[in-house]
Amino acid sequence: MTTQGSSASQTSDERVPHVLEFPGGYTRSTGPVIGRFLTGLRSGRIYGVRTPDGKVLIPPTEYDPVTAAALGAGDDDWVEVGPAGTVTSWAWVDEPRGDHPLDRPFAWALIRPDGADTALLHAVDSGSKAAMATGMRVHATWRAERTGSVKDIASFAPGEGPAEVPVLAGEAELEPVSVVTLPHRLEYRLRPGTVWNHFIDGMAVGQIRGTRCPTCGKVYVPPRGACPADGLPATEWVDLPDTGVLTTFAVNNVPAAGAPEVPFISGYVLLDGADIAMLVLVSDVPWQDVRIGMRVKAVWVPEAERTRSVKNLKWFAPTGEPDVPYERFEEYV
Contact yes or no for 46/275 (Cβ under 8 A) = no
CB of 102 to another protein, least distance (A): 11
CA distance 226 to 194: 12
Before 83, cis peptide (omega within 30)? yes
- 158 counts as binding another protein under rule CB under 8 A: no
Which of 7, 11, 18, 239 is close enough to bind another protein by CB under 8 A? 18
CB of 162 to another protein, least distance (A): 21
Which of 3, 11, 26, 328 is close enough to bind another protein by CB under 8 A? 26
Looking at the Cβ atoms of 15 and 328, the one nearer to another protein is 15
User: Helix, strand, or coil here: 91?
Assistant: strand
Looking at the Cβ atoms of 52 and 255, the one nearer to another protein is 255
According to CB under 8 A, which residues from 202 to 241 bind another protein? 216, 218-220, 224-234
Secondary structure of the chain: what % helix, strand, coil (to 5)? 15, 35, 50
Which of 88, 128, 307, 319 is close enough to bind another protein by CB under 8 A? 88
CB of 85 to another protein, least distance (A): 11
CA distance 234 to 223: 9
**Sequence-ordered alpha helix ranges (H) in the chain:** 31-42, 194-204
Interface mask (CB under 8 A) for another protein, residues 256-295, using x and -? Answer: x-xxx-----xxx------xx--xxx-----x----x---
CA distance 48 to 165: 19
Q: Dihedrals φ, ψ of 63, to 5°?
A: -135, 145
CB of 320 to another protein, least distance (A): 22
CB of 298 to another protein, least distance (A): 14
